[in-house]
Amino acid sequence: MDTPHVWVARADGSDIVRAEAIVGVGVDLHGNITARVAGGDGASVTLVAANTQHGPHLPEDFHRELIRVLAELSDAAGAFIVRPVFDEPHGWRWINEAL
């Protein structure tokens, strides 16, 4: 079986990082969901920018939900992109799409 190729995109699609390059996911001091990448001297990618005054609230465990999605895709065959989306009935959630 081929190794799955999983990519994680920023909410606005401006940045995409390969999931296997991610060494950590967390919430920074401003409430943003960030991914730390390997080999970048501590480089990180902001996946979701929190807008606490005017935007929808991010779930407290949203960064953990990303880890769950990536773990589920680790057994899948093919290529996928995972990205955060917000919609009124469901709130914030991670979706994956086949490439």
pLDDT at 19: 92
pLDDT at 3: 56
* d(C-alpha 84, C-alpha 87), whole Å: 10
Chain mean position to CA 64: 10
pLDDT at 1: 38
* 10-residue stretch averages of pLDDT, the chain, 99 residues long: 76 90 89 86 85 69 92 86 88 90
* d(C-alpha 47, C-alpha 12), whole Å: 8
